[in-house]
Structure 1
Amino acid sequence: MLNAKFFFALLLLLAVAAGNGAYCFTKKDSLLQILKKELKSSRYDQLKEARLRRIRSLLSESASQSYQRRYQLYSRMLQEYMPYQFDSSYVYVKKMMEASEKEGDSYGLQESQLKLLQIFTTAGMFTEAGELLSDLHDESIPAGLKGLFYDRKARFYESLADYNNDRHSRKYRAEAEKQFIKMTSASPPNAFERMIARAEVPDSLGNRRPSAGFYLHFITHHGLSNHEIAMVAMRLSHHYSGDDKIALLALSALSDIRSSTKYTQAVLHLGEALYKAGDLKTAYECINKAVSDAAFYNARSHKIDIQNVLPLIAGKTIMETEQQRDKLIISSLLFALIGVTAICIIAIVFIQMKKIKVNERLIQKQNGQLAAVNLKLMEHTRINEEYIGFFFKKSFSYISLLERLKRTVERKIKMKKFDDALETIAALQITREREDLYKSLDQIFLKLLPDFIPAFNELLKPEDQIWPQKEGSLNPVLRIFALIRLGIKDDETIAGILDYSISTIYTYKIRIKAKAIVKGEEFDKRVMDIKFINC
């Protein structure tokens, strides 16, 4: 085994560097904490979609370009989609096959067929993969594709063995091992696939080579991409157990997320390992991620693997939840009596407070009603005071006038100056006296309601508003509604005061109401709502 501190420090350094993080931990839990944050992130998929859009844009302009250029762009799209989405991978590998077949490029066609074999294998479409493999023969494969051919063939038999897991699996694994051996001799000396497959090749004594140190060195010294780190860490996890295995699987899952790899076994195996270690919460999060990735990629075999694991973890999670629930019920029962007592006390206090609030609202309502009554009483008192004083003065003035007139007429009659008596009576100017009365009424009314004219005009349209020519006075129309505001609503009484006919008063009222912006009783109410000063 490698030195534990060095091993974890190296893994964390690698994880943080790949994710541009800022973490300083030295335990396996640190990798899991980083992984949990990344499980919630969608930025890597957004970056993947941005790359796909750029290549797709180039493809839209490639119709007039050479076959090599189009084949290259199809290959780039396939490279992006292969670990990301099965359906799109299949579309672009078929485009590569069609383009190379049309061009007569046998090398490109066989390269595309090998990639299609990989797609079928990862998707669990073993029947289609087997049919395609039967059409590919060693002798017809170009030297440059031999290593890829043996690798894809080995992966096919290895996946078939894992999928069937029956008496035929040993035969499939033996065939896979045979193809891995062929690949090591056919691949270039430093080819990535050859390097990560070395752990699967037996040495001269028939034993598997120790690969943990080899892979760890490979991870840290070859500038691998996130996807390649995920593959190597996954292979390396087979040679460890316990926390070491979980750390490697977490590194692989983390790298898969950062490379937007949806066809991945790492997060599923990590969920299984965490489940066995008793970390059900994180295990469930990992399995949910595996479910969403499998649904997105649309891999049949991967969905079956998840379906085998998910019920176990879900069942254990439910059982643990039920145990926690039982503990909670017991704890709740212990506090039940105290709770019931507290609730009773709170209920009594609440009822009393509610009664107090009801009484407060009733008092406030009654106070409001009293205030309204007091306001009206103040208005009536003010009116009475002003108009009683006014009429006392006017009455005294008219009595004095009548008294002087009486003495003058009596004296002239006694002196038998009848013509002079008639002239004295004729000299009385009733019209002027009435105008003086209206003027006094206007002054007193506007003193009590100084805002009556603008407030009344707010009820009319701008073009229909009524403004007296002389400040401090009312015109006949305003005088009618001033009397109404004072409580004189009978048309006959208003007509007598203003020396108009009843029909004239009625016509004025109807005409104004027809021009008002509010109609009917609302207009009358608004007029009566015009406030007295200081009331």
Structure 2
Amino acid sequence: MKKLRAIVIGLVGILAVLSLSVACHRSEGVDRFAISALDSLDRVIEQRSHYMELKEERLGELRARLETTEQEEVPLEQRYRSTLELAQEYRPFRFDSALYFSRKALELGHQLKDLSASRRAGIEVAYCYLSAGLFLEARETIDAIAPDSTPDGEETIAIHLLRMKYFLDLADYNDHNDEMAHRYRSAGLQEADEVITLTPEGSHDHYYALIHKQLHLHQYREALSTIDELLRQSSITDRDRAILLSLKGTAATLMDDDMAAVEALAQSAVYDLITGTHETTSLARLASELYRMGDIDRAARYIDLAMEDANYYDAKHRKVAVGDIRPLIEQSRMHQIDLRRRQMTTYTLVASLLCLLLVAAIVVIILQMRHLRRATRQIEEANGALRLSNERLEEANAIKDEYIGSSFYRQGAYFHEQEELYRFLRQRLESKQYDAIRKRIRQSEVTRERKDMYADFDETFTHLFPTFVTEYNALFPPEEQQTLLPGDPLTPEMRIFALIRVGVSKTEQVAHFLNYSVNTINTYKTRVKNKSLVENKDFEGEIMKIGRSR
């Protein structure tokens, strides 16, 4: 048993160590803020279909409004505004629909012969091309907006912001070519400076251009400070928050602050989901960060969602970007699955051994319990037999004591009678009075003495077993019960079973004591047993139980 206990403890320790190592592997490298952000993201992902329904409802309302303007005779300008609004709503949601309605708004702008309207629609078309990675088409559209000069006012800022995004996106796209990347980055920073110059300090556009400039000049701490300052403003939308948090994740990644990057990208992905945005990089970049940190499960889940977004948005360069990292994550996931399978095999083997040892221990315990129960039963049987023997011994001693006293009294009376008889016979023989002797012999009191012996037995027995008559009658139906008054002798049948009760069990001995033949005794016994309520074979056993409870 000691060896069995030691083996069980050792196996349990192995299971505990394995479980602890898995738990540590899963939780290492992620602080509580990042974990909280990831948990929030997971909860929002569970409600993803709900946010998609809200987005679809919003798009449905705008499409219905546009159809109303097309069916009714409404001003062309109103149709233009409805079409442009629908295009802007589609832009982060689905590329082909956004491009379709942007071009339609551009056509309406041309029909209006309103240069400002055409430029706003053209800017929207260019953003659609940039979102899809179609840089050539985006450049043609940008050149078409302002072929010779840049307009004044808000359109100036919007065009500079568009050109900034175009050049900086080209720089990122050509990061493998230092010369081209530098040329595009310089052009983008020049456009950012124009925006910073033209916009008031503290405005969204001012902050937005400044953040991009700081990031491309490797001023990451300053960029983080600017982002946090803008995030504190209550006027920014959820879509703006998604973009700003994505930029914050970029800055944190470039500073090698993995925890801050994970937290920011997770928060950005939350806002992307809430706003129904499919044109996003936050989930894919978050998956990449988690992959590097070893959280393969989440990385695989997020990269699958990112691929779903890319497929739904239907932008080729997004699919390519996600496709670059997805195989690596899938490979790691398969490796982790294989590792877990091996761990599960180990757990199963250890658990099986524990189960076998447990079964063995249970079998040993059952065998010991059986042995203990058997020993207990034997002890109880021995104690029961001993109690019965003691009871019988006490009963025998009581009977012996009672009959010894009765016998002394009866013997004393008998000797006294014999002395009287001898004295009478001697006197009559000496005087030769033979007739008197004959008369005395004829008057022998043997029969009376036998009756007296029976009376003495009955008195002694009922004294020893005062409930004998009552318990004896209980063995018969009411009509067969015999009632005795105080002082009445026992009936011959009762006397037979009274002798059996005191241990005179042989029929010959009973017949000799009662001066009956053996056949007569057997006849009495059979007749009595046939009248009783118990089986014949059990009757004498019930007789032996009489008086035992006293």
Q: For 1:164, which of 152, 162, 174 is the aligned residue?
A: 174
Q: Partner of 1:28 in structure 2?
A: 34
Runs of at least 5 residues in structure 2 that lack an aligned partner in the other structure: 1-30, 360-550
Is 1:52 the counterpart of 2:62? The answer is no
Q: Partner of 1:321 in structure 2?
A: 337
SS at match of 2:280: coil
1:234–1:206 Cα change, 3 Å: closer
1:318–1:341 Cα change, 3 Å: same
Deviation string for 1:419-450 (max 9, x for gaps)?
xxxxxxxxxxxxxxxxxxxxxxxxxxxxxxxx
Deviation string for 1:318-350 (max 9, x for gaps)?
11111111222344445667889999xxxxxxx
Q: CA deviation at 1:207?
A: 5.9
Counterpart of 1:104 in structure 2: which amino acid?
K
1:400-419 pair list within 5 angstroms: none
Q: For 2:68, which of 61, 67, 83 is the aligned residue?
A: 61
Is 1:289 the counterpart of 2:305? The answer is yes
Is 1:101 the counterpart of 2:110? The answer is yes
Deviation string for 1:226-281 (max 9, x for gaps)?
10111111122233212111111111110111111110111111111111121111
Is 1:152 the counterpart of 2:158? The answer is no
Q: CA deviation at 1:138?
A: 6.6
Q: CA deviation at 1:218?
A: 1.6
Q: CA deviation at 1:159?
A: 1.7
Aligned pairs, how many?
A: 318
1:77–1:174 Cα change, 3 Å: same
SS at match of 1:238: helix
Is 1:39 the counterpart of 2:45? The answer is yes
SS at match of 1:140: coil
1:195–1:335 Cα change, 3 Å: closer
Q: CA deviation at 1:139?
A: 4.3
Q: Partner of 2:193 in structure 1?
A: 181
Q: CA deviation at 1:298?
A: 0.8
Counterpart of 1:215 in structure 2: which amino acid?
I
1:121-520 pair list within 5 angstroms: 121-137=130-146, 139-143=148-152, 144-167=154-177, 168-187=180-199, 189-201=201-213, 210-240=222-252, 241-334=257-350
TM-score (norm 2): 0.54
Question: How far, CA to CA, are the matches of 1:305 and 1:206 in structure 2?
Answer: 23
8 Å contact from structure 1 (residues 200, 208) kept in 2: no
1:37–1:284 Cα change, 3 Å: same
Question: How far, CA to CA, are the matches of 1:236 and 1:138 in structure 2?
Answer: 35
8 Å contact from structure 1 (residues 39, 289) kept in 2: no
Question: How far, CA to CA, are the matches of 2:344 and 2:137 in structure 1?
Answer: 54
8 Å contact from structure 1 (residues 59, 73) kept in 2: yes
8 Å contact from structure 1 (residues 227, 259) kept in 2: yes
Question: How far, CA to CA, are the matches of 1:202 and 1:33 in structure 2?
Answer: 31
Q: CA deviation at 1:26?
A: 6.6
Which structure has the greater CA radius of gyration? 2
Question: How far, CA to CA, are the matches of 1:257 and 1:226 in structure 2?
Answer: 10
8 Å contact from structure 1 (residues 199, 208) kept in 2: no
Question: How far, CA to CA, are the matches of 1:192 and 1:198 in structure 2?
Answer: 10
8 Å contact from structure 2 (residues 231, 241) kept in 1: yes
Question: How far, CA to CA, are the matches of 2:292 and 2:298 in structure 1?
Answer: 12
8 Å contact from structure 1 (residues 93, 112) kept in 2: yes
Runs of at least 5 residues in structure 1 that lack an aligned partner in the other structure: 1-24, 344-535
Question: How far, CA to CA, are the matches of 1:87 and 1:128 in structure 2?
Answer: 14
Question: How far, CA to CA, are the matches of 1:66 and 1:185 in structure 2?
Answer: 37
1:235–1:58 Cα change, 3 Å: same
Identity %: 22
What is the Cα-based RMSD across aligned positions, in Å? 2.7
SS at match of 2:235: coil
1:317–1:82 Cα change, 3 Å: same
SS at match of 2:278: coil
Deviation string for 1:479-511 (max 9, x for gaps)?
xxxxxxxxxxxxxxxxxxxxxxxxxxxxxxxxx
Deviation string for 1:152-204 (max 9, x for gaps)?
1121122222223322222222221121112222345554233122123369x
1:127–1:325 Cα change, 3 Å: same
1:314–1:93 Cα change, 3 Å: same
Question: How far, CA to CA, are the matches of 2:221 and 2:147 in structure 1?
Answer: 27
8 Å contact from structure 2 (residues 34, 263) kept in 1: yes
1:87–1:319 Cα change, 3 Å: same
Q: Partner of 2:23 in structure 1?
A: none
Counterpart of 2:240 in structure 1: which amino acid?
E
Q: CA deviation at 1:85?
A: 0.6
Q: Partner of 2:87 in structure 1?
A: 78
8 Å contact from structure 1 (residues 147, 184) kept in 2: no
Q: Which moved more, 1:129-138 or 1:162-171?
A: 129-138
Question: How far, CA to CA, are the matches of 1:215 and 1:35 in structure 2?
Answer: 21
Q: Partner of 2:129 in structure 1?
A: 120
Q: Partner of 1:8 in structure 2?
A: none
TM-score (norm 1): 0.55
Counterpart of 2:162 in structure 1: which amino acid?
R
Counterpart of 2:131 in structure 1: which amino acid?
T
